[in-house]
Amino acid sequence: MKTVGLITEYNPFHNGHLHHLQESLRSTDSDIAVAVMSGHFLQRGEPALIDKWSRAEMALAAGVDVVVELPLPWACSSAPDFARGAVQALNALGGIDTLCFGSEVGDLQVLQQCAEVLLRKEYELSRETSRLLRSGINYPQARQQVMAEWLPDSFDRAALAAPNNILGIEYLKALRQTESSIVPSTIQRIGAGFHDTIVGERNIASATGIRKLLAAGEPVTALIPPAAQKPLLAVLQSGMSFSSDRYLLLLLGQILRAPSELSTTWLVESGIENRLLTVSGQAESLEALIDGIKSRQLTRTRIQRMLVAILLGLKQEEVVALLSTAPHYLHVLAISTSGQEFLASRRKQGQLPLIQNFSRVYSTLKRYYDQDSPAYRRAFQQLDLELRATRIYTLLMRQFQQQERSRDFYMPVLRNEEPLGGK
């Protein structure tokens, strides 16, 4: 029995994700699909459209066998840390034969060529990127420019700017850096691009496009696999989806309440505090807030991650310490019957605690780690961030109930007998 690993966000799960799932299983000749999925806050610094359990339920209904949460802060980090945390999670699960990811180029050899160059010239990349940053361009542009100079003339430089290619290169680096036994594989993305709002072939739109259609009150059911529609529609109809207006109010309150704390917040660079305070006193929308902070050096994504860090009260020292290690436990959100059998077979061979009954998380971590060890402290820091993310995300819903803030503790692992969408 072969198992393929997927690194995902599913915000929300759509036809493109179904294509990726089915092609990953087919192309790797796998029987089990295991997804490492971001929780309530995502890699580009955005709160998820719907909660992590509803997104996991969509994936389960469509045919994913196991969904585990990629913990904060890896889930909200730039591509290198995001990729490394996700690969470390797959390594820790054990039994993952292949990592299959989507990419714009669809050519593993091309992406491996980039990864090899970056691994060989890591120090030079950092030095040259810093030099270009001083000239006034932003980090992604500086990084792409340096990489382009090192690659053969025949290489398509535009590929370096494509978001899934960037992540793919980082997955390949992470596999090498962690000496993983997992074999990489890639399939070419089809349909609309990452940032596109139009609908591409086979009724495949980007997750960004689907969220914009939903915000405009447009129907999206044709873009979502039938088996996965129920969880999404249930959340949307109940009003429990993300509200950017609520996000703005909570964010402004956090910035204006304690400006002295900004300097110790993760990703808040020295000198930006005054601009944050000025813009926060004037912004009437989330877009206006982001636009007011943006500069040549600060990309939109960087700002979005910084705002999430402010909202969640993520401290620079704490996050940097966590990112220097690896996830200390994995929270299982959803499993199929086959997924349960897979996890049972890995229970004694996995490298981390697998938390299925979250009400036992404290006792599990105390039993697993030496209470005088740094790993014990880091595990509970990770736990604190996960609980904090759920509590605060609940406040961002259009409508919410008080008990939702403790949902990590009373929400059971989602299960189904057979994948409704088929494989």
What are the binding residues?
7-20, 102, 164, 189-190
Are the beta carbons of 73 and 38 closer than 8 angstroms? no
Contact between 113 and 99 under an 8 Å Cβ cutoff? The reply is no
Annotated binding site for ATP: 7-20, 102, 164, 189-190
The letter for the amino acid at 106 is G
Burial code of 55-79, b = ≥16 C-beta within 10 A, e = fewer?
A: bbbbbbbbbbbbbbbbbbbbbbbbb
Question: If we measure between CA atoms, which residue out of 257, 283, 247 comes closest to residue 40?
Answer: 247
* CA nearest neighbour of 175 among 233, 67, 88: 88
